[in-house]
Amino acid sequence: MEATQEIIDRIAYLQAELTKYGMAYYVKDQPLVDDATYDALYRELEELEASYPQYQTEDSPTARVGGIILPGFEKAIHEIPLYSLSDVFTKEELFAFDQRVQKTLGYEPKYVCELKIDGLSISLTYEAGRLVRAATRGDGTVGENITENIKTVQSVPLRLPQEIDLEVRGECYMPKASFLALNQKREEEGLETFANPRNAAAGSLRQLDSKITASRNLSTFLYTLADFGPLQVTTQEEALVHLGELGFRINPEHHVCHSIEEVWSFIEDFHDKRSELPYEIDGIVVKVNEFAAQNSLGFTVKAPRWATAYKFPPEEAVTTIEDIDWTIGRTGVLTPTAVMTPVKVAGTTVARASLHNGDYIELKDIRLYDQVVIYKAGDIIPEVSHVVLDARPKDSVAYVLPTHCPACDSELVHLEEEVALRCINPKCPAQLKEGLAHFVSRQAMNIDGVGPRVIAQLFDRALVNDTADLYKLTKEQLIELDKIKEKSADNILSAIEASKQNSLERLLFGLGIRHVGAKAARLLAEEFETLERFFTVKEEDILAIHSIGQTIADSVVTYFATPEVRELANEFREVGVNTAYLGKKASDLAEVDSYFQGKTVVLTGKLTHYTREEAKAKIESLGGKVTGSVSKKTDLVVAGEDAGSKQTKAQNLGVLIWNEAQMVEELDKSQE
C-alpha cells in the first residue's frame, strides 16, 4: 500500500519513541511510560508496519520478536580473541596476584571490581552504529554467529547514538526470576528443566528459531571492547561509563578500589549479598584500572596478567535421600520430590528437592538412602547435584519408577519427546483437584476462599467432580466441611456467584487448556467472543491471531474436539456462568469505573503533562475512544494550549470542553 507522508512520519516517530522507551526500561531499569501506554503504541506500530511493510526497518522495536529460522549456526571468527581469566579461590591467592602485579608495575595500582556474571560471553559488532554481528565466545577464536537471536534480547541496542564501529563484549544471562518461571513452565509441560540460569541462557541462545530466544527474557551486561581505539578512554572505569552512555547495559555494582584490602572487603560484601541479586554471579572479577598499567602487564597465552577472577566457593551440602514422593499436576504430569534429612545450604534448611522426572532419577542414578550433594539453583531452588557414589550402601538397588498413578491407579504413559511420566485418566482425582485450584485462582475465575483444603474435601465428599459443579454447591454442604463456618460459607458462595459474571477470557484461562496462559486466553476471547464459537473454530483462524503460534492452536483445537468439553460447556451455561467476552468494558472497568468509559474524546492543542499519544493510550485503556475530529457524536474535547478550530467547533456544537488539568485529574482518579 502507498503510504501518505503522515503515515511515514508516524511510523518513524513510533519506532524512535518505542526504542527510547525500550532502552529506558530494559537498559536503565527506569521506565518512562507505563506498560499500557507502551503496549498501545507498540500495537499501533505493529499494525502500521503490517499495512506498510516497506517501512519496517531492521532495527524497528517490532523486529525483536524473532521469527527467522536458521538451518544451523555459522562460524564467527574473532579477529581479536576473547580472553579468559585466571582464577583465585582464597584470600592468599588473591593477595599473591596483587604481589605479582606490584612486582611488574613497581607500585600498587587501583583495581576495578566487577561482578562475575554467570552467563555466556558474547561479542557484539557494530558498524556505523548498527549491530551487524553477534557471536558466542566459542573457544575464544572461533565462536558461533548468533546475530538473529541476540537481536531479540531487549537490552541490546540495535543502533547506537553515534555512527561508530565497535566490538563490544560482555555477558548474556538469564535473570533468576525468568529461570525459575521457565523451569516451572517446562516442568508442567513435561519437558526437561535446566540445571541453572547459565545453562538456560546457553540453551536459549543456541536456538535456531529466534522466536524461542525472544520468549526467554535474556538480558546482558557489557563490560569491555575488543579494541578501545575509537573511544577516548584510559581506564576500565571510564570504559564502563562510556559504554553506558552508548546505550549498553552495564552492571551498576562496580567499584574502584585503592588497595587489595579494599578489593577483599568488596568480595566479602558480595559474598553475603550474592543471593539477593536478581541474577547469578559466580565470583568477582578484579581488573587493573589504568589501561597503561594493563599494557605493561600484558597477557599470558590465555589470559590477561592484569585481571583475575575470585571464585566463590560453591554452596553445597551433603545429605541423605530418605524417600521419593510423587505428586500429580493439573495436566497429569508426575513429579518426583526427594525427601531428605534436613540440612543447611546457603542460609536455609533444605529437606525437599524436586527430582523433576523419571529420566532425571535414572540419569543421575539416584536411589533411596543414597548420599547426595545438593545446591541451590538460581540461588533459591534446592537441586540434587550428584550422588556420592563412595558412600553408597553395598546392598543398594536401582530405584524403580512407578508404573501406575498413585492417585487413581491407572497405568502411566511416557509420551514421546517428553521426559515426564503422565497419568492420562481424565477423571483422575489428583488432576481434577489441581484443575479446580487453577480454575478458582486469581487470574482465572478469581474465587476467593476456595483453597487446597476446601478443594480436597469437596472432592473427597464427592460434592464436586468437575469445575461446573462448583456452581451447584449449597450453603448446607459448605457448612458441613471442616473449618467452614457460616460466614465463610456465605463468602465462598458470593465469590462463586460473582464469578458467573466474568468475561470469557477468565473462563477460558481457568479451563486449563494446555499452553493457554492468561495472555493467550485474552487474545482468543477477544477474537472469538463466545465459548460456543470455539467448538467450530478452525486452526487457521487461530493462527491468524498475531502472536499465537502453532502449539497453542493445536492445543485449542484438540481441547474443544473432546466430547467431555462439550458437556462441560453446557453445564456452565445451565448454571448461569457467562460464556461471552465482555470486552474491556466489563472486565477492566468493573474495577476502574472510569469517566472515559464509552466516551468519544477529541484531543486538541498542545498538551504538556502527557504527550498526545500517552493521553490517547490512557483514555483508551480506560474504555474511551479518541478521534481526530469534532462532531455531534463527540462527548468531550480536551483543549490544550493554543487550541484552534476544533475548540471553536466544539463550542458551536455545545460539546463539553475541558482543559488539560481537568483531564489529568480525571485520568489520575481513574488509575488509583
SS3 content of the chain, % helix, strand, coil (to 5): 40, 20, 40
Q: Which of 433, 188, 511 is nearest to 334 (CA)?
A: 188
428: partner contacted, choices ligand AMP, Zn ion, none (Cβ within 5-8 A by kind): Zn ion
Amino acid identity, position 375: Y
Query: Is residue 423 annotated as involved in ligand binding?
Result: yes
C-beta of 334: minimal distance to Zn ion in Å?
9
423, 520, 636, 643: residue in contact with Zn ion (rule CB under 5 A): 423
Interface with Zn ion (CB under 5 A), residue from 407, 437, 508, 619: 407
- Residue 70: enclosing H or E segment and its boundaries? none
Q: Is 114 annotated as a binding residue?
A: yes
172 annotated binding-site participant: no
36 annotated to bind ligand: yes
Note whether 117 binds ligand AMP by CB under 6 A: yes
363: Cβ–Cβ under 8 A, 6 or more apart, which residues? none
Q: Please count the residues of the chain.
A: 672
Distance CA 122, CA 142 (A): 12
Rounded to the nearest whole angstrom, what is the least distance from the CB of residue 405 to Zn ion in the complex?
Answer: 3
Q: Residue ranges of the alpha helices (H) in 443-562?
A: 452-460, 475-480, 486-499, 504-510, 518-528, 539-543, 550-560
Instruction: Tell me the number of residues near ligand AMP by CB under 6 A.
Output: 11
Helices 197-205/176-188 angle, 10° precision: 80
Give which of 523, 506, 515, 514 is closest to 572, Cα–Cα. Answer: 506
Q: Quick one: what does residue 405 bind among ligand AMP, Zn ion, none, with the CB cut-off 5 to 8 Å set by partner type?
A: Zn ion
Per CB under 6 A, 154 contacts ligand AMP = no
**Whole-number minimum distance, CB 335 to Zn ion, in Å?**
13
- Set 20, 103, 110, 116: catalytic member: 116
Provide the edge-to-edge strand list for the sheet that holds 636-639: 625-627, 600-604, 636-639, 656-659
Binding mask 308-347 for ligand AMP (x = CB under 6 A): -x--------------------------------------
Kind plus residue range of the DSSP H or E element containing 323: strand 317-328
* 600 carries a ligand binding annotation: no
Tell me if 85 contacts ligand AMP by CB under 6 A: yes
Q: Is residue 405 a contact residue for Zn ion (CB under 5 A)?
A: yes
Report the distance separating Cα 357 and Cα 187, nearest Å.
8
Closer residue to ligand AMP in complex, CB, 309/419: 309
Q: Given CA atoms 133, 136, 142, 145 in this order, what sign does their dihedral have?
A: negative
Both ends of the chain: CA-CA distance in Å? 42
Which one of 58-66, 84-92, 623-631, 645-653 is the stretch in contact with ligand AMP (CB under 6 A)? Answer: 84-92
Q: Does 424 bind Zn ion (CB under 5 A)?
A: no
Q: Does residue 116 carry a catalytic annotation?
A: yes
Q: Which amino acid is at 80?
A: I
Q: Contact with ligand AMP (CB under 6 A): which of 11, 88, 156, 285?
A: 285
Report DSSP state, residue 31: -
The verdict on 248 binding ligand AMP (CB under 6 A) reads: no
Residue 614's H or E segment, with its range, is helix 612-621
Q: Which is nearer to ligand AMP, 31 or 304 (CB)?
A: 304
Q: Does position 533 bind ligand AMP by CB under 6 A?
A: no
Interface with ligand AMP, residue 239, by CB under 6 A: no
The 10 Å Cβ neighbour count of residue 389 is 10
Instruction: Check if the beta carbon of residue 356 is closer than 8 Å to that of residue 335.
Output: yes
Q: How far is the CB of 24 from ligand AMP (least distance, A)?
A: 23
Asked whether residue 137 is marked as a ligand-binding residue, the answer is: yes
Assess 171 for contact with ligand AMP (CB under 6 A): yes
Asked whether position 223 contacts ligand AMP by CB under 6 A, the answer is: yes
Pick the piece of the chain touching ligand AMP (CB under 6 A) from 28-36, 113-121, 356-364, 486-494: 113-121
CA distance 267 to 311: 10
- 39 annotated binding-site participant: yes
Q: How many residues bind Zn ion (CB under 5 A)?
A: 6
Which range touches Zn ion (CB under 5 A), out of 56-64, 188-196, 428-436, 662-670? Answer: 428-436
- Nearest CA-CA partner of 567 in 494, 501, 511: 511
Task: Look at residue 526 and give its three-state secondary structure.
Answer: helix
Closer residue to Zn ion in complex, CB, 334/355? 334
The residues that bridge with 127 in the sheet, in sequence order, are 130
Contact 376, 315 (CB under 8 A): yes
Binding footprint of ligand AMP on the chain (CB under 6 A): 84-85, 87, 114, 116-117, 121, 171, 223, 285, 309
Binding footprint of Zn ion on the chain (CB under 5 A): 405, 407-408, 423, 425, 428
Q: Which are the catalytic amino acids?
A: 116
